[in-house]
Amino acid sequence: MLESRRMYLPALALLGPGCVKEIGAEIKKMGLKKALVVTDKVLLEIGVVDKALESLVQNEIDYTVYSNVKPNPTIANVNEGFELLKANSCDFLLSIGGGSPQDCAKAISILATNPGDIKEYEGVNKTANKGLPIIAVNTTAGTASEATINYVITDEQRKVKMVIVDSNSLATIAVNDPELMIKMPKALTAATGMDALTHAIEGYTTKGASILTDTLNLEAIKIISSSLREAVNNGENLEARSKMAYGQYMTGMAFSNCGLGIVHSMAHQLGGTYDLPHGVCNAILLPYIVEYNAATIGDKLKNIAIAMGENVEGLSIEEANKIAISAIKKLSEDVGIPSGLAELGVNEEKLSHMADLAMIDACTPGNPKNPTKEDMVSIYKKAL
């Protein structure tokens, strides 16, 4: 008998080319008056933010913009945004961007309805009140932060990425318009695409997986692995962009409700210690951790190989596992991900400290194989 499950999803998802034009009307239906727009300077400069704001202007909805969000959003970003929200009497948030603005907006939303500092909410479901409404316009494919109950904020003083899992931070409306993704650079397309693939593979193999999340994650693996190369090499291809938007959203719905594993635990520490891009860290670590977990996940790697278009008919599970790992490495190589962490400036000096932090990361309990600190150090060394 299937066990009972609790699923958290945005109340409304808008998906497909041009759907960002609908947000103003939806906001008006909700009776909301003024947005704090949370974004970054690059999206502001290249005009992506203006495209999203057109619908607000047409529907006479007021807004003020906070655009100082860093690639790894910090406590300082959250506090600055919160002060701006209060000063301008904003009653909802409009987040525009990839995971960084989305995560920052979630934290601001939580502070608006819960007392104290964001550091107090590190961990799982520590708030009492639902955050302010968030209309989350995603511009990458991607972190799927617009679909999830998770967010990550960097504590600059501790040099730690705080993982916060909180159903009160879930966006009210999730928006994935691939037309907003057309201008995304190759490197960012590759990094965020491999992040999405990591979500799908980790979500499919995590301890918390269910029949529903498995179905979503396997289809996401299929869509992402067949579309990412084209999205990277031909960013103007709207079909490839659309498929990536759907694929990353599907795995977002899934992993938000089943958890992840130590790829994310270990990548979080690389981001917190070295301020490295999250998707790139995930991509480099992924094949080594899949190999580490292989013996504990039955035929799931074989199914991943099939979803990635590999022919494993007649092969043993061990042989199919090797093909799946090779396929992951090949996709990462084809889209230009660095071959190892050393290329990003990582050395052995801080591996032990990062492993200590990864052991207590919120994602670690979901890993299919229970790791030791020594296991994590060994994986970091293999990935250098």
pLDDT tens, position by position, 205-251: 999 999 999 999 999 999 999 999 999 999 999 999 999 999 999 99
334 membership: H or E segment, kind and range: helix 317-334
> Does residue 5 register a pLDDT over 90?
no
> Does residue 3 register a pLDDT over 90?
no
pLDDT tens, position by position, 104-154: 999 999 999 999 999 999 999 999 999 999 999 999 998 999 999 999 999
Section 4-9 average pLDDT: 91
Q: Among candidates 352, 343, 341, 340, which has minimal Cα distance to 377?
A: 352
Please give the pLDDT value at position 164.
96
pTM to 2 decimal places: 0.95
Torsion of CA 334, 337, 343, 345, to 10 degrees: 180
Count of Cβ atoms closer than 10 Å to residue 205 Cβ: 29
Please give the pLDDT value at position 47.
93
Please report how the helices 211-233 and 238-255 are oriented relative to each other, as an axis angle in degrees rounded to 10: 150
> Does residue 67 register a pLDDT over 90?
yes
Please report the domains of the chain, with CATH numbers, ordered by start residue: 12-181 (3.40.50.1970), 186-383 (1.20.1090.10)
Count of Cβ atoms closer than 10 Å to residue 89 Cβ: 11
The secondary structure of residue 9, as a DSSP letter, is -
pLDDT band at 1 (very low <50, low <70, confident <90, very high): low
